[in-house]
Structure 1
Amino acid sequence: MTGLTKDALRYYEKIEILTDVPRDQNNYRQYSIDNLHQLQLIQGFRKLGLDLSLLTDSINLTNDEQKLETLRACQKAVHDEMDRLTRIDTILAQQISRIPK
């Protein structure tokens, strides 16, 4: 469903960025919609090369104000990476346009 390995899922639980994974009577993990959303965010951070510890901080906070501040820092990191990629894309587009067709 997520394309992640069993080892990756266990690792994310271990470092506490995948939290509150329910288990059935046989102790098998039963991933919730919230868990899937966590995994999508984790995968997005990994693809962008962003620090997963930002997610750990936001997940483990119980104070809403601190959580909001940390999530905004995560969002800023994503925006910064988007800006960097946009600059690279602009450079590539310029180089492509200089090549005769």
Structure 2
Amino acid sequence: MFYAEHMEKTYTTSDVARLTGLSIDTLRYYERIGLIHEVDRLSNTHRRYTDSDVQWIQFLLRLRDTGMSIQQMLSYARLQRLGESTLRERVALLKAHHEQVELHIQQLQEYLVVIDHKITTYEGALLTCETEKVEESAR
């Protein structure tokens, strides 16, 4: 009873694909290139992912979605596997990525200003057209 209560929940590849939004092929690719450590397998060779594995994959997805390259993610994964002795390098890598994300956010905000201006221009043109139509129909 004690053993069963303390076993970590495991997930199949299909479960992890559903939970993360990645395809099964992408999960296998990430494992093959070393982004994900070699996942434990049951005797029938089916992969069994843990909660920790799923959390790691979700973190990798956040890095990817914020523009980190596969090469940078591989560097981070390698450092993470090496343990506490690489904390400084991991912090440096994440700080550099954070700066890039901040710059991208700033750039997107600048783009939004241009888009907002265009929307305002078009709404003004629509209002002018509608006003002219009302004036024409009143004649």
Query: Greater CA radius of gyration, 1 or 2?
Result: 2
Q: Distance in 1 between matches of 2:21 and 2:38?
A: 20
- Report 1:18-33 matches (<5 A): 18-33=36-51
Q: CA deviation at 1:32?
A: 0.8
Q: CA deviation at 1:63?
A: 4.8
2:100 equivalent in structure 1: 81
Q: Given the two structures, how large is their TM-score scaled by the length of structure 2?
A: 0.60
Deviations 1:5-63 (A, max 9, x none): 11111111111110141111211011111111221122122222212223323333425
Q: Does 2:64 match 1:64? A: no
CA RMSD of aligned residues (A): 2.2
Q: Gaps (5+ residues) in structure 1?
A: none
Q: Distance in 1 between matches of 2:62 and 2:49?
A: 18
| Counterparts in 2 of 1:10 and 1:83: CA distance versus 1, 3 Å | same
Q: CA deviation at 1:97?
A: 4.7
- Matched residue pairs, number? 100
Q: Does 2:60 match 1:42? A: yes
Query: 2:57 corresponds to which letter in structure 1?
Result: L
Q: Report the identity percentage.
A: 24
Return 85-94 or 36-45, whichever deviates more: 85-94
Q: Given the two structures, how large is their TM-score scaled by the length of structure 1?
A: 0.77
More helix by share: 2
Q: Does 2:23 match 1:8? A: no
| Counterparts in 2 of 1:17 and 1:75: CA distance versus 1, 3 Å | same
